Amino acid sequence: MGRIRLENITKNFGGLQVLKGINLEIEEGELVVFVGPSGCGKSTLLRQISGLDKPSSGAILINDRDVTEVSAADRGLAMVFQSYALYPHMTVKLNLAFGLQNAKMPKAEIETRIADAARMLEITPLLSRRPGQLSGGQRQRVAIGRAIVRDPTAFLLDEPLSNLDAELRVSMRAELGALHARLGATMIYVTHDQVEAMTLADRIVVLRGGQIEQVAAPIDLFERPANRFVAGFIGAPSMNFLTPEEAASLNGTPPAGAALIGVRPQHLEPADSGLTLTVTLVEALGTETVIHGEIAGGKRLLLTLPGHRPVQVGGQLTVNADPARLHFFDAQDQRIG
Amino acid sequence: MNPIRFLFRRKGGKGWHWTDLVTWVWLGTGLLIMFGPALWLVLSSFKSPTQLAEFPPTILPYVSQTAEVGINGEVKELPLYTAVTEDGQVRTLAEVRRIGTVAQMVDPDAPDTVYKVNINDRRPVRQVGFEIENYLKPLQAFNFGLYLRNSVFVTTVATLITLLTNSMAAFALSKYEFRGRNGVMLLIVATLMIPLSVNLVPLYSVVSKLGLLNSLWGVILPTVATPTGVFLLRQYMLTIPDELIEAARMDKASEWQIYWRIVLPLTAPALAVLAIFSVVWRWNDFLWPLIVLSRKELFTLQVGLNTFAGELNVQWHFILAMTVATMIPVVVVFVFLQRFITAGIAGTGLK
């Protein structure tokens, strides 16, 4: 099993610095999710760990061994690619066997491993087919199977679910979670989908512009975002941000130095006193109702209420929040309290 | 579908639109220009030497009719003519001998009466027939079997080496990032602009110094590195996703295994195109083998054909027949693999 440590990793492409000094420790058996907007460097970071790319500076340690200069093949990691990257001219069985053959493993052992992995992923009937004859979900399983048979130190998954349709994505997500629990292997998972991040991760690494913004367990990230970016990025719909003047009518008093007050749409509810907003749009989703509105001064505000609420567009609504649910940020966008 | 209706299909409407006519004439002329010479060649290859020299030429090959005529107790095989005799009657007569412009002719059924006919008043009796000798004689009497073996050897070996070396170069140029990659590619493609006749002399001295003159390897080796092939394969390999190669790298594949087990099988369609091109090029190659090979037992078919054209006498009937014979493999390649060829031409803009 694998413990991975990143020490001050930087990566430059020409004059552009894509990774700006990443320090991270990943524990054995942990499922860590790299999340962030596109271009934040999360896939680049994964490639540095995999060995397919070399960092411009810094060190990568796997189980306390410095592998910065070690080739991808010899790091003992397995990767699942976004496009699956199955070898189209080989059968599923050969796809699974290829890595093991290259490692000069005895034939009998290869057979057992493939049989075990195929049973675990329920792809045994597909072993003699080629990738072109498989559906998206089946290809996904084969790609994961190819990683599993290698029995790697750690799994690297690069947006593995992004090519699947919504329904399949939900079920594969659950399967991946179950697989992690079963294998107990270290996994690094890259995604831009925060639902995947929240549901799968032991810890989430939020990246922006080649830097780590926050590393925390999913709920901590939601409850106590370290800065304005994380607060806005995690949670859907995203957090409302108000100036102290705009938030004056809300319950509670901002601490000294608070330049920005954040409140999640889920934490606003109708009240007798508080912020008054003019409803501009109502999205009834059945399980919840998303209400878009404008407060005095023209700032837009979002709130979600459970169930179906008969709210009229153009009508007035007064909302307020539990003071404990408010987030305060200073002038540098950092969290206060 | 009814072939007549197929040929006269129109774009619609009641009558012939002028575009229908233009299309028909255009395609018809094209067909004539493309297939006319080939048809001419095939039909002419069945003609006898006299018939080839005839003017005006005929399209179909003919064989003159003869008859066995007994003259003075001797049975002779004589050519038959349709002649107009002095009394103005048209008869079928056999020619016994010819003196100047007058032919002495007899009726095969009554050989005792001799008619004197001006040679302008008679026409040979003949019917469509094929001179198979044109084919059989070179194959039996000359070394065509040997030439064929040499040609097959040169074509096969050169094609295999071409595929191997060109695909390796293309792999390096498409899947590795290195300084000067585009420069190297440009240099390779630029050699397309140098015709063989320019580097014939230096190439000859290289081959000569290597002791490859009068060896089939001297024909094979200078031709195997083709810029067209490298370009064609590289363009195709660029379409193979890099993730596949990265996946193989994660799977502990060596660079050779990536080339041999991943890239090469996936390049199969482009390899097929190059193989076809290479077969056609090597099979039809004439100038280079002619320069390298001077011993008769090493000749390839195309050079062998040249031996029928002597300084004083050109044996057209053999040349034509053997040209048809040497065309057959290429035609077969085209018939069965034309799908790949069009794809290849579309893919590279070359032919």
Structural element, H or E, at residue B67 = strand B66-71
Please tell me the predicted confidence (pLDDT) of residue B344. 60
Please tell me the predicted confidence (pLDDT) of residue B89. 81
Please tell me the predicted confidence (pLDDT) of residue B1. 67
Please tell me the predicted confidence (pLDDT) of residue B345. 62
Question: What residue numbers bound the domain in which A140 lies?
Answer: 4-232
Q: Does the beta carbon of B252 lie under 8 angstroms from any beta carbon of chain A?
A: yes
- Of B112, B128, B144, the position where a domain reaches its end is B128
Question: What residue numbers bound the domain in which B113 lies?
Answer: 63-128
DSSP collapsed to 3 states, chain A: CCCEEEEEEEEEECCEEEEEEEEEEECCCCEEEEECCCCCCHHHHHHHHHCCCCCCEEEEEECCEECCCCCHHHHCEEEECCCCCCCCCCCHHHHHHHHHHHCCCCHHHHHHHHHHHHHHHCCHHHCCCCHHHCCHHHHHHHHHHHHHHCCCCEEEEECCCCCCCHHHHHHHHHHHHHHHHHHCCEEEEEECCHHHHHHHCCEEEEEECCEEEEEECHHHHHHCCCEHHHHHHCCCCCCEEECCCHHHHCCCCCCCCCCEEEECHHHEEEEEEEEEEEEEEEEECCCEEEEEEEECCCCEEEEEEECCCCCCCCCEEEEEECHHHCEEECCCCEEEC
Asked if residue B296 and residue B340 are part of one domain, the reply reads yes
Asked if residue B226 and residue B167 are part of one domain, the reply reads yes
CB A184 within 8 A of CB A29: yes
Residues of chain B in contact with residue A82, where contact means CB-CB under 8 angstroms, are 243
- Where is pLDDT greater, at B208 or B343? B208
Closest CA to A246 of A284, A295, A307, A176: A295
Which chain A residues in 67-126 lie under 8 Å from chain B, judged by CB atoms? 71-74, 77-79, 81-83, 85-89, 98-99, 102-103
Q: What's the CA gap between B196 and B206, in Å, rounded?
A: 14
Asked if residue B215 and residue B331 are part of one domain, the reply reads yes
Please write the tens of the pLDDT for every residue from B150-170: 999 999 999 999 999 999 999
Chain A residue closest in CA terms to B265: A89
With CB atoms and an 8 Å threshold, state whether B248 touches A83: no
With CB atoms and an 8 Å threshold, state whether B247 touches A79: yes
Asked if residue B148 and residue B82 are part of one domain, the reply reads no
- Where is pLDDT greater, at B83 or B207? B207
With CB atoms and an 8 Å threshold, state whether A98 touches B254: no
Chain B residue closest in CA terms to A77: B250
Average pLDDT over all residues of chain A: 91
For B328, the 3-state DSSP assignment is helix
Q: What's the CA gap between A149 and A116, in Å, rounded?
A: 8
- Of A164, A198, A232, the position where a domain reaches its end is A232
Q: In chain B, how many domains are there? A: 3
Chain B residue closest in CA terms to A94: B261
Q: Which of A292-301, B209-218, B313-322, B340-349 has the lowest mean pLDDT?
A: B340-349
Question: Residues A291-310: what's their mean pLDDT?
Answer: 88
Mutation target for B interface from A71, A86, A89: give the one with most B CBs within 10 A.
A89
Å between A334 CA and nearest CA of chain B: 39
Neighbours of B304 (CB within 10 A): 23
Please tell me the predicted confidence (pLDDT) of residue B351. 42
Nearest to B251 among A71, A83, A99 (CB): A99
Question: Residues A97-118: what's their mean pLDDT?
Answer: 94
Å between B227 CA and nearest CA of chain A: 27
Please tell me the predicted confidence (pLDDT) of residue B346. 62
Classify strands A57-62 and A65-66 as parallel, antiparallel or unpaired. antiparallel
ipTM of the complex: 0.85
Asked if residue B269 and residue B189 are part of one domain, the reply reads yes
Question: Residues B18-34: what's their mean pLDDT?
Answer: 92
Residues of chain B in contact with residue A87, where contact means CB-CB under 8 angstroms, are 244, 247-248, 262
Please tell me the predicted confidence (pLDDT) of residue A203. 95
- Where is pLDDT greater, at B91 or A180? A180
Nearest to A83 among B241, B254, B257 (CB): B241
**Any idea of the CA torsion for A85, A90, A92, A94, to the nearest 10 degrees?**
-110
Question: Residues B212-233: what's their mean pLDDT?
Answer: 92
With CB atoms and an 8 Å threshold, state whether A78 touches B250: yes
Please write the tens of the pLDDT for every residue from B329-341: 888 888 887 777 6
Q: What's the CA gap between B119 and B93, in Å, rounded?
A: 12
Q: What's the CA gap between A248 and A35, in Å, rounded?
A: 34
Question: Residues A70-90: what's their mean pLDDT?
Answer: 91
Chain A residue closest in CA terms to B251: A99
Please tell me the predicted confidence (pLDDT) of residue B101. 84
CA angle in degrees (0–180, nearest 5) for B92-B96-B100: 105
Q: What's the CA gap between A27 and A307, in Å, rounded?
A: 40
Å between A104 CA and nearest CA of chain B: 10
Q: Which of A75-89, A101-115, A164-178, B112-126 has the lowest mean pLDDT?
A: B112-126
CB B227 within 8 A of CB B189: yes
Chain A residue closest in CA terms to B264: A89
For B148, the 3-state DSSP assignment is helix
Q: What's the CA gap between B123 and A231, in Å, rounded?
A: 107
For residue A10, pLDDT beyond 90: yes
With CB atoms and an 8 Å threshold, state whether B266 touches A89: yes
Å between A52 CA and nearest CA of chain B: 7
Question: Residues B294-323: what's their mean pLDDT?
Answer: 85
Mutation target for B interface from A67, A101, A102, A130: give the one with most B CBs within 10 A.
A102
With CB atoms and an 8 Å threshold, state whether B250 touches A103: no
Asked if residue A244 and residue A215 are part of one domain, the reply reads no
Q: A231 forms bridges with which residues in the sheet?
A: none
- Of A177, A197, A232, the position where a domain reaches its end is A232
For residue A47, pLDDT beyond 90: yes
**Any idea of the CA torsion for B261, B266, B272, B277, to the nearest 10 degrees?**
-100
Asked if residue B210 and residue B73 are part of one domain, the reply reads no
Neighbours of B284 (CB within 10 A): 15
Asked if residue B91 and residue B219 are part of one domain, the reply reads no
Question: Residues A244-256: what's their mean pLDDT?
Answer: 84
DSSP-assigned letter for residue B108: T
Asked if residue A170 and residue A261 are part of one domain, the reply reads no
**What CATH number is attached to the domain comprising A271?**
2.40.50.140
Question: Residues B40-63: what's their mean pLDDT?
Answer: 85
Q: A187 forms bridges with which residues in the sheet?
A: A31, A155
- Of B128, B146, B165, the position where a domain reaches its end is B128
Please write the tens of the pLDDT for every residue from B249-272: 999 999 999 999 999 999 988 898
